[in-house]
Structure 1
């Protein structure tokens, strides 16, 4: 949503392209404003209204003066990019992801509400902290370093032997993840970083689960969790940096034209 919407706002994609790209994640997309006041201002359905389609969200973002968005992936203990203890922050933390359109003062949060239905709730933002810029090269290096450290720690703990057939599990997890389309002018390096992040996440999910019939001791489980936590953080950082770089490049290219 962040990449495609930013591309659309800069004339690098048609609205139909955005709507089509979102079909990767759900067949139906609903849009509601989180408050009646915001609904009136943006001409969107309110919390109790009949949801609108994704096209109306695009119109609302443009009406509010949005130019580009940022991806935030908050978890407990790391709420970078959110606006304090606001309804938006609380909902974004619960869902684990959100798009922030700071120049428009709006945040959008996706939530699966039924099979094949994704609802986008639009919030008015409070005061945001200064934006944190992480160069994509730094994020990519951080993910690789965290991967090596986690692998070394898990090897030292001798945890790997508890997972026979682990390569097949990882390959299955990677192939099961939806493969979204991207704008034609999307830069290749961020796409490679996103692909690598998806692969690393698959490894993390497999490594975090106990093998059927093979239980780890509580101390080994804690050690595994501690070893993997920095890698989870590095994957989130790499994803945010890759999306930010795509948004930046697409915006700069269209401005040059």
Structure 2
């Protein structure tokens, strides 16, 4: 698992489907931080959800789950992970505070029926071992016009694993001139991702996609960390960015596709 929003999406949908206990969701989110603060974005949202406003309180994961349970009471409700990036605002409700917060955080969760009103949740690191969740009211949730199927996501990740490895080699990072072994750094990044577990009911195909996305992301992280030693010119840095940008986008798309497929399967089970 790679983000608190992804954890909340897969575990909350599993809980709402009756496949996981509330304690499972709490344990999964506590792997990110032992304390979770919650706060409504505005007074109206506070009145609708019962969450504190304007100052966050240690309402815990339970308050988030209660908010999500109320939000999924509408027909055709979805729980959808969004992973915006630079120049990539797919799936965000335009012009909202939620969209701005999700762009800053690089993640967020939307709950409700597409095309109608719903709820948005965005986590922010508040301090050491503390996550603050801001809950927003969304007047009209966007339609999932950029839906990526699992077949497309799996194929894209197979290609991305190859391309990311090629990018690493193109930077000549595998020679003995570096103080750290890139392979060890990649393994360390993957080990950190593996600390965050998935529900046992997750579909094998979705799990394969998420594992591949983690592998690509680990390679990209190492490439970005070690690139300054190799890209000494502005043109070299621009070339590297051109090489890595589509791979980052592919990782975000694949992760969102896999997580959201799990959420849909859970809510429609």
Normalising by the residue count of structure 2, what TM-score does the alignment of the two structures yield? 0.85
Q: CA deviation at 1:119?
A: 1.2
Which residue number corresponds to residue 46 of structure 2?
A: 39
Which residue number corresponds to residue 5 of structure 2?
A: none
Which residue number corresponds to residue 228 of structure 1?
A: 244
Whole-angstrom distance in 2 between the partners of 1:27 and 1:149: 37
Q: CA deviation at 1:125?
A: 1.1
Which residue number corresponds to residue 205 of structure 1?
A: 221
Which residue number corresponds to residue 245 of structure 1?
A: 261
Runs of 4+ in 1 over 6 A off after TM superposition: none
Moved more, 28-37 or 202-211: 202-211
For structure 1, the 5+ residue unaligned runs are: none
Q: CA deviation at 1:209?
A: 2.4
Whole-angstrom distance in 2 between the partners of 1:208 and 1:154: 10
Number of aligned residue pairs = 251
3-state SS, counterpart of residue 182 of structure 1? coil
Q: Please point out which of 113, 128, 135 is paired with 2:149.
A: 135
Q: Please point out which of 107, 110, 118 is paired with 1:97.
A: 107
Q: CA deviation at 1:214?
A: 4.9
Whole-angstrom distance in 2 between the partners of 1:63 and 1:73: 24
Q: CA deviation at 1:186?
A: 1.7
Q: CA deviation at 1:151?
A: 4.6
Which residue number corresponds to residue 84 of structure 1?
A: 94
Q: CA deviation at 1:188?
A: 1.8
Does the Cα contact within 8 Å between 1:74 and 1:96 map onto a contact in 2? yes
Report whether the alignment pairs 1:191 with 2:204.
no
Which residue number corresponds to residue 172 of structure 2?
A: 160
Whole-angstrom distance in 1 between the partners of 2:23 and 2:167: 47
3-state SS, counterpart of residue 226 of structure 2? coil
Whole-angstrom distance in 2 between the partners of 1:41 and 1:154: 49
1:118-170: per-residue Cα shift (whole Å, max 9, x none)? Answer: 11110111333321321112012112223434555665xx4225764221221
3-state SS, counterpart of residue 79 of structure 1? coil
1:68-123: per-residue Cα shift (whole Å, max 9, x none)? Answer: 41110011211111100211100010000001113260010011101111111101
Distance 1:210 1:186, change over 3 A: closer
Whole-angstrom distance in 2 between the partners of 1:140 and 1:73: 18
Q: CA deviation at 1:184?
A: 2.6
Normalising by the residue count of structure 1, what TM-score does the alignment of the two structures yield? 0.89
Whole-angstrom distance in 2 between the partners of 1:41 and 1:133: 30
Report whether the alignment pairs 1:54 with 2:68.
no
Moved more, 102-111 or 82-91: 102-111
Which residue number corresponds to residue 219 of structure 1?
A: 235
3-state SS, counterpart of residue 80 of structure 1? coil
Whole-angstrom distance in 2 between the partners of 1:136 and 1:178: 21
Moved more, 59-68 or 238-247: 59-68
Q: CA deviation at 1:206?
A: 0.9
